[in-house]
Amino acid sequence: MTRTNEVGETRVVGAVPATDAQPVYPHTMRLQRFLARAGVASRRGSEDLMTAGRVTVNGQVATELGTKVDVDRDHIEVDGMPVKLNQGAVYLMLYKPTGYLTTMSDPQERPCVADLVPRDRYPGLFPVGRLDRDTTGLLLFTTDGDLSQDLLHPSKHVYKTYQALVDGHLTDRDLGPLRRGIELDDGLCQPAICRVINAREAEAVAPQGVKPGTTAVEVIIREGRKNQVKRMLSKIHHPVIRLHRCNFAGLELEGVAKGSWRELTDREVQILKAGGIPPKQAVGKRAGAAATNAATRTRHHGSHGSAPKRNTYRERYTG
């Protein structure tokens, strides 16, 4: 049963003793805060779980957002699974196959990624960002709402690497507009890192090889607009036939079969919490740009570098 005190807070009584008390936490706290600290979902996501009737305290459904629980005594479950403060947040990656919507439920009952991840084992699991229905590749899931927000916030500029099989013969020179920053209907894109790739590299989008009349390319972006890579390539008149995300924030699909998932390692979680790491192509591009800038500074400031100082008009302007 529940009781409401004079300030309108609801308290569930009839507690069941717990064996693993957590003295470092206050004895009582709001239920949504408890769920967020236990890594079930973000504070807002925990409130959604409560209002949906998926949370029980001591066997009774708790839907009121003012509900308080005793972390040492009360027994909390989400979708029938016990929740404890020391279980921590969950982080995993899915190799999303084609034909699945990036959503945890669909009113039309179409296939969605929720069918491919262990949401019964980890209540409150949700995807970090989204992939189109026909796009394959790396899709992160977590119960850590704060980390998900950080990874998706535009100011973080997390690198995402895509491979695309496009229609038509595309040369490296044709990718120039993408490298400079191409204009789309919703504004100017940031410069992308892109290159034409061979059939061995493009196995995910061209398993039978890159056929004549098509080209495989790699595109690395730091934004997250809807259908961005598809729209960028369509803008240069090479529509996408297949699209695959092979890297997100420095993480790759290692040891994961299509349609399968695995939990992230501790190192991978730390990489995400640090804001991710750039892929090798981005590091190489930045190192090349730094070397070019250094060389340019040396040429223009000969008196401070190894180049000899030019004294005469002829040497200075025609040398």
pLDDT digits (tens, 9 = 90+) for 128-157: 999 999 999 999 999 888 898 889 887 778
pLDDT tens for 169-178 read 999 999 999 9
pTM score of the predicted model: 0.72
Residue-level pLDDT at 319 = 31
Residue 224 has pLDDT above 90, yes or no: no
What share of the chain in percent tops pLDDT 70? 79
Any idea which residue has 């607009």 for tokens?
225
Distance CA(31)–CA(291), nearest Å, equals 55
Q: Kindly report the CATH number assigned to the domain that includes residue 25.
A: 3.10.290.10
Least reliable range by pLDDT among 183-187, 261-265, 287-291, 312-316: 312-316
- Same structural domain for residues 19 and 135? no
- Same structural domain for residues 264 and 289? no
- Same structural domain for residues 30 and 99? no
pLDDT tens for 8-36 read 555 555 444 444 444 456 678 899 888 88
Marked catalytic residue, from 79, 132, 150, 167 = 132
Of the three residues 54, 70, 85, the one that is the final residue of a domain is: 85
Residue-level pLDDT at 15 = 44
**Is 132 annotated in the active site?**
yes
Of the three residues 32, 51, 85, the one that is the final residue of a domain is: 85
- Same structural domain for residues 145 and 256? yes
Domain range for 293 is 280-318
- Same structural domain for residues 184 and 153? yes
For 162-177, the three-class secondary structure string (H helix, E strand, C coil) is: EEEEEECCCCCHHHHH
Tokens of 169: 């013969």
Q: Kindly report the CATH number assigned to the domain that includes residue 265.
A: 3.30.2350.10
Residue 306 has pLDDT above 60, yes or no: no
- The number of beta carbons lying within 10 Å of the beta carbon of residue 247 is 24
pLDDT tens for 37-60 read 887 887 888 898 999 999 999 999
- Same structural domain for residues 36 and 179? no
Distance CA(255)–CA(250), nearest Å, equals 15
- Same structural domain for residues 11 and 47? yes
- Same structural domain for residues 178 and 240? yes
